[in-house]
Structure 1
Amino acid sequence: MSPSSPASGLLFALGSAGLYGLNIVYARVAALGGVSGPAVVIYRVLLMLALFGAVAAIMRRSLVVAREERGTMAVLGVSTAFVGLCYVSSVAFIPVTVAAVLFYAYPTFIVLASPLVEGTKLTPALVGVVFLALLGIVLVVGPAFGDLDWRGLALALGAAAATATQFFAAARCRKTDITAKMFWIHLIVLPTAVLAGAATGQLTSPTVLALAPFGVIMTVGGYVIGFLFQIVALGRISAVAAGIVYCIEPVVSAITSTIVLGERIGPVQALGGCLVLAAIVTNILLERSRAAPIVPTD
């Protein structure tokens, strides 16, 4: 398997989605320990900047963005910032479960927009895989739709749209060194994280992280490695292929929450998880068939 092959890109995407699934559970553990979400976001962004700035200095890697990708990098950074800002803000108006279902509509957004953005042919098989995954996510999350505030709905859907934009931008930003991408994305995200912390009155000193050290380490570590894997994956596979793979994230979260937080998975959620897995396997098989070389016949 070539290091830059689509198959390796799918593996990186699976690893990233799995780590993100763990990340949100341990963010809950950290919150229960007294560490707020904005505090975790701010310090993990600062960690990313320090980490990749150090990597660039030690390994003498350039932080220069390829000239033709500077606009794309700006879009990638801004969309990454809006993903967190919109998603976190949405739960102030609607239940978390409803926000999660709306947010994980982003693979559908990616597929529907791909003919315009990437020129991808919208096949019935691809559409079927996306809606199978979306149905599975709805069953896994199990939302209780009650009184819904339009502001929360708009913010959650905005987060989904920002995520789709992030995937498309990352898939087009392939010439810039990975270290430079990681550094500049988080440099753009930092002001948004600080503003969110200031707006919620949760700009605190780093000592607050000691209230739940294990939860903080797991959620920050899951994000750092997961985001790195995401950027690597999107440099090797299409946004459409990656978007479907990331449907595994809420399934991992549901399973991990039963182990770590003692929550229970019912038969409907188990069925949803199976549907998501079936969609991902089908997508991988479709990707392999598209990537297979055509053998000429005599």
Structure 2
Amino acid sequence: MTRSSPASGLVFALVSASLYGFNIVYARMASFAGASGSAIVVYRVFLMLVLVGIVAAVTRSSLKAAREERGTLLLLGIATAFVGICYLSSVAFIPVTVAAVVFYTFPILIVLASPFVEGTRLTPALLGVVALATLGVALVVGPVFGGLDWRGLALAFGASLATAIQFFAAARCRRTGVMAKTFWIHLLVLPTAALISLAAGQLVPPTALAVAPFAVAMTIGGYVFGFVLQFLALGRITAVAAGIIYCTEPVVAAISSALILDEALSPLQMTGGALVLAAIIANVVLEQRRLKDAPLVPIAD
């Protein structure tokens, strides 16, 4: 067992969110080439299981899940499957910028649900941060909703809802180590993702992903490192704090899509991105003040 450090949790969350921001841009590139989002999810989950097995064998790490957290791990596995499939599939129908911003309504869902799930007190300062982030999200989306494919919007919002569930569940899963969590979650995700992909008629052989090898590799790599850092973060900070930090992703995704995919950003969208970043900074300050005198919590890494 190690001691929980909120500061390191915030850093892990920030880096993880940035990796996810790059990840979705390359997922869109892969979809343009004909690689389906659900197929990528299946094979990246398989790769994650292989990597975790190798690392666990080399480091002799335990993959045992805490008995009292097995139900939570089951919920985490199901939620994680829907996050990946819905989010990566959404960019086949709508631009990355829109998909990322719709997806990142999940911090708002987390804050609104936190009094019922975690007993969090909604202070004026916290509500102000959420309002600022929400305004930034609205500006980034702006008028681009006109003529968008409803399937992409529904998939992105479905991923948002699943992520809110994932964050709450992960914040309650502190006794099981990150290696074990990663293994069991993905062991549950693999058959779920495979069945959904099969039902959608998108479960293709891995050779089919060779149509966009670089984009697929970047998508999978960003997910692998981002996922591990996400669960390191969620063992150290609350779901509310992490959720607001993860608003970094749509900003990173928007900038990356502009640079890599030539998806233009308007001044209004840039202003929205700046407001999201301001909300993140304010959230970090509030979280640091709240936890300044709080005792460190034992967690399993």
TM-score greater than 0.5 by the shorter chain = yes
For residue 267 of structure 1, what is the amino acid of its counterpart? P
Which residue of 1 is the match for residue 298 of structure 2?
A: none
Q: Offset of 1:85 from its aligned partner?
A: 3.9
**Residue deviations 1:108-152 (CA, integer Å, cap 9, x gap):** 111111112112111011011012112212222335334789887
Query: Is 1:221 matched up with 2:250?
Result: no
Give the whole-Å Cα distance in 1 for the aligned partners of 2:85 and 2:27.
16
In structure 1, distance between residues paired with 2:111 and 2:76 = 18
Q: Is the CA contact (8 Å cut-off) linking 2:12 and 2:229 kept in structure 1?
A: yes
Counterpart for residue 262 of structure 1 = 262
Structure 2 residue aligned with 1:130: 130
Flag the 1:161–1:236 CA change in 2: closer, same or farther, 3 A.
same
| Aligned-residue offset at 1:86 | 4.2
1:139-288 matches, within 5 Å, as 139-142=139-142, 144-146=144-146, 156-288=156-288
Letter in 1 for 2:233: A
User: Offset at 1:93?
Assistant: 8.4
After the TM superposition, which of the residue ranges 53-62 and 176-185 deviates more from structure 2?
Answer: 53-62
CA change 1:267–1:3 in 2 (3 A) is farther
Unaligned runs of 5+ in 2: 295-301
Paired residue total: 293
Give the direction of change, closer, same or farther, for the CA distance of 1:263–1:86 in structure 2 (3 Å limit).
closer
Alignment TM-score, normalising by the size of structure 1: 0.89
The change in CA–CA distance for 1:154 and 1:215 in structure 2 (over 3 A counts) is closer
Q: State the superposition RMSD in angstroms.
A: 2.4
Q: Is the 8 A contact 2:78 2:192 kept in 1?
A: no
The separation in 2 between residues aligned to 1:21 and 1:43, in whole angstroms, is: 20
Instruction: Give the conservation status (yes or no) of the 8 Å contact 1:107–1:243.
Output: yes
Q: Is contact 1:141-1:250 (8 Å) kept?
A: no
Task: Give yes or no for contact 2:94–2:149 (8 Å, CA) kept in 1.
Answer: yes
State the distance in 2 between where 1:194 and 1:67 align. 27
* Residues 151 and 40 (structure 1), Cα distance of their counterparts in 2 relative to 1, 3 Å cut: closer
Q: Distance in 1 between matches of 2:293 and 2:41?
A: 44
State the Cα deviation string for residues 2-50 of structure 1 (Å, max 9, x = none): 9731011000000010000000001112222332222211110100111
Q: Which moved more, 1:137-146 or 1:278-287?
A: 137-146
Which stretch shifts more, 73-82 or 269-278? Answer: 73-82
Q: Which residue of 1 aligns with 2:103?
A: 103
Task: Confirm or deny: 8 A CA contact 1:86 1:159 kept in the other structure.
Answer: yes
Percent identity, aligned pairs only, is 67
Higher deviation after alignment, 101-110 or 164-173: 101-110
**Equivalent residues of 1:241, 1:283 under 8 A apart:** yes
SS class of match (1:144): helix
1:104·1:134 contact (CA, 8 Å) conserved in 2? Answer: no
Q: Which residue of 2 aligns with 1:41?
A: 41
